[in-house]
Amino acid sequence: MTPISDDDTLAPSWRQRPRPVGFEIAYRLEGDTLVVDSTRKVDRVRLSAVEQVRFTYAPSNISSKGFKTQLRLSDGKSITFGNLSWRSLTDMERDDAGYHAFVSALAAAIAQASPRARFVAGKPQPLWVALALVSGLSLLMLAFFTGRGLLQGQYSTALLGLLLAAASYWQVKPMVVLNRPRNLATGEVPDDLVPGRAG
């Protein structure tokens, strides 16, 4: 999953296996073109066609350190890749430094090829509001469950509710906080959603 190139002098590249079963996808930056090699086919995407770049926090089932970058193109299609790569059905690999280096180079190239492209962070506003509301209601329900257990003297039930609330808060908080929608400057790469910046 580390940055790849047949020659170290070539443009930045990145490999990722986005699913436990399936092909590895290679991304290579060639000037103002992004080459996407999915083994079965090779697509060449002009960076001038990028209308929006979105960075999100996207944990997987077995890792809470998942992040994604999505490019939305003028033809309505999108390209999405992340910092996690599946090695097997139960094992994932991370290379945050390589991911950050590639995304930074890609963002700079997009800013040059498509100056009007929007750079945004987090989920779209309606999705984020829904996520925040559902998360808040879930925590309130667990708090009510815990409080009711305490009032009725069912301390084991209250303890269970407290443990569930703590675990939920630990998982839900970064989903809501990191995915808060915000606009970025053209070419900006947010460190909280693209980890691994050197130095």
3-state secondary structure of 2: coil
Look up residue 134 and give its two tokens: 């559902």
Q: What is the pLDDT of residue 94?
A: 87
What gap in Å lies between CA 110 and CA 170, rounded to an integer? 35
What gap in Å lies between CA 35 and CA 5, rounded to an integer? 12
What gap in Å lies between CA 166 and CA 142, rounded to an integer? 10
Write out the chain's pLDDT in tens, 199 residues: 544 444 445 679 999 998 888 889 999 999 999 999 998 899 999 999 999 999 999 987 666 789 999 999 999 999 999 999 988 877 788 889 999 999 999 999 999 999 999 999 999 999 999 999 998 898 888 888 888 888 888 888 878 878 887 877 778 889 999 999 999 999 999 999 999 887 6
Task: Give the residue among 48, 12, 40, 41 at the shortest CA–CA distance from 27.
Answer: 12
Task: Give the model confidence (pLDDT) of 57-107 as tens digits.
Answer: 998 766 678 999 999 999 999 999 999 998 887 778 888 999 999 999 999
What gap in Å lies between CA 111 and CA 119, rounded to an integer? 9
Residue carrying the six token digits 């699913």:
19
3-state secondary structure of 12: coil
Phi then psi dihedrals of residue 74, to 5 deg: -65, -20
Q: What is the pLDDT of residue 61?
A: 63
What gap in Å lies between CA 155 and CA 146, rounded to an integer? 9
| Alpha carbon distance, N-terminus to C-terminus of the chain | 21
Q: How long is the chain?
A: 199
Look up residue 178 and give its two tokens: 């990191």
Look up residue 12 and give its two tokens: 């930045």
Q: What is the pLDDT of residue 2?
A: 44
- Any alpha helices (H) in 8-124, and if so which ranges? 96-113
Q: What is the pLDDT of residue 4?
A: 44
